[in-house]
Structure 1
Amino acid sequence: MRLISERGGMGRPSRGWRRYGLAAAAVTATAVTGARAVDPDSAWYAELRKPPWQPPPWAFGVVWTPLYASIAWAAGHALGTTTTRRERTALATSLAVNLSLNAGWNWLFFARRSPAAGLAGTVLLDLSNADLLRRTGRTDRTAARVLVPYAAWCAFATALNASIARRNA
């Protein structure tokens, strides 16, 4: 059986599916790695003073699931629109750094039990989001627009983390 490639011809399966698959695998690894550090039921977390505007615990899973899906789609799409190896490598590197910082926040905040370390991590994640949006926007404006809710949620998380750090200093 032959598959139709992205360019509409017959032949080998499209490389596009591989890009999306690799992006989805990277995002899934990020989610799993980060989740391993999270324990919202721990006594330490329960005792933290939190702002009244913090979302309920169930909201985080509801929000992160589509955000992770959007990151995977945007990454696969944007990597497919790069025109040079250098541009593709820079975008892939930006994404890898971003996903590492994304997962790392959980380890800084929950595993180290340090809102201050978590705040430093989320500020770095916000800077990484700006770089990822900039690089993605250069090659694929649609993919960049898809990443905006992710960047916005991370900015909200930074404000929330800052409030928790301040209340528990």
Structure 2
Amino acid sequence: MAHLKMKALLTTSALVAATAAVGTAASDPNGDYYARLKKPDWNPPNEAFPIAWTTLYTDIALTTGLTLADLWEAGEITGSNKEAKRFLTATAANLALNGGWSWAFFRAKQPALSAVWSGVLAASSADLTRRVFKISKVRGMALAPYAAWTAFATALSCAVWKLNDRAASHRAS
């Protein structure tokens, strides 16, 4: 069963690496657009984001990989990989949302869309954490900071939207 664990970890690591590459390709935290945006006082410094995301991406790859391995092993015993397929689909969907947020925010320059996108990502992250927790409470607790961070990111995205929507409204008047 060690081969299933390695296969699962490689699968989730590849998905996470692709997500990081997609998100990084769109992100421009030092660009003019981001610099001009009004941000709340509680906005973390730019240096915090790569540290947080590197830690979270490592966490996601490990917790989802080990969970996927458990589900594949259970599927070999029961003869059905339906749960593993559902879990992998949920993981891939979550990571697609994750990588896509940067495109909505930095490239499309749509704070409203980004705030909504972030809310969907946060809900997906909470669901992914729930799925992992169902298989392993320890791994579920280890993944919980990801759900918390995406909830925080949603609050931050909403604040940026609100602050800049008001600023745009005042400029238009």
Q: Does 1:58 align with 2:54?
A: no
Distance 1:109 1:134 in 2: 27
Alignment partners' CA distance in 1, 2:42 and 2:126: 25
Asked whether the 8 Å contact 1:81–1:140 carries over to 2, the reply is no
Residue 100 of structure 1 pairs with residue 87 of structure 2:
no
The structure with the largest helix share of the pair is: 2
1:63-122 per-residue CA deviation (whole Å, 9 max, x = no partner) reads 111100000000111011122311101110110110000001101111101111100110
Paired residue for 1:30? 19
CA distance in 1, matches of 2:142, 2:100: 23
Letter in 2 for 1:108: A
Structure 1 residue 146 displacement after superposition: 1.4
Which of 119, 124, 130 is the equivalent residue of 2:120? 124
Aligned residue pair count:
158
Alignment check: 8 A CA contact 1:27 1:71 kept:
yes
Amino acid at match of 1:39: D
Query: What's the secondary structure of 1:146's corresponding residue?
Result: helix
Gaps of 5+ in 2: 76-80, 166-173
RMSD: 1.1
Which deviates more, 113-122 or 138-147?
A: 138-147
SS in 2 for 1:36: helix
Q: Using the TM superposition, give the Cα deviation of residue 44 of structure 1 relative to its aligned residue in structure 2, in angstroms.
A: 1.4
- Which of these residues, 134, 143, 153, is aligned with residue 138 of structure 1? 134
Mapped pair 1:42 → 2:38: no
Q: TM-score scaled by structure 1? A: 0.90
Matched, 1:70 2:59: yes
For the residues of structure 1 that align with 2:131 and 2:144, how far apart are their CA atoms? Answer: 13
Q: CA deviation at 1:137?
A: 2.0
Give the Å deviation of 1:28. Answer: 0.5
Q: Which amino acid aligns with 1:126?
A: A
Residue 111 (structure 1) aligned with residue 136 (structure 2): no
Deviation at residue 134 of structure 1 after TM alignment: 2.1
- In 1, Cα distance between equivalents of 2:14 and 2:35: 32
Identity across matched positions, percent: 39
> What residue identity is the alignment partner of 1:147?
L
Superposition deviation, residue 41 in structure 1: 1.6
Matched position secondary structure for 2:47? helix
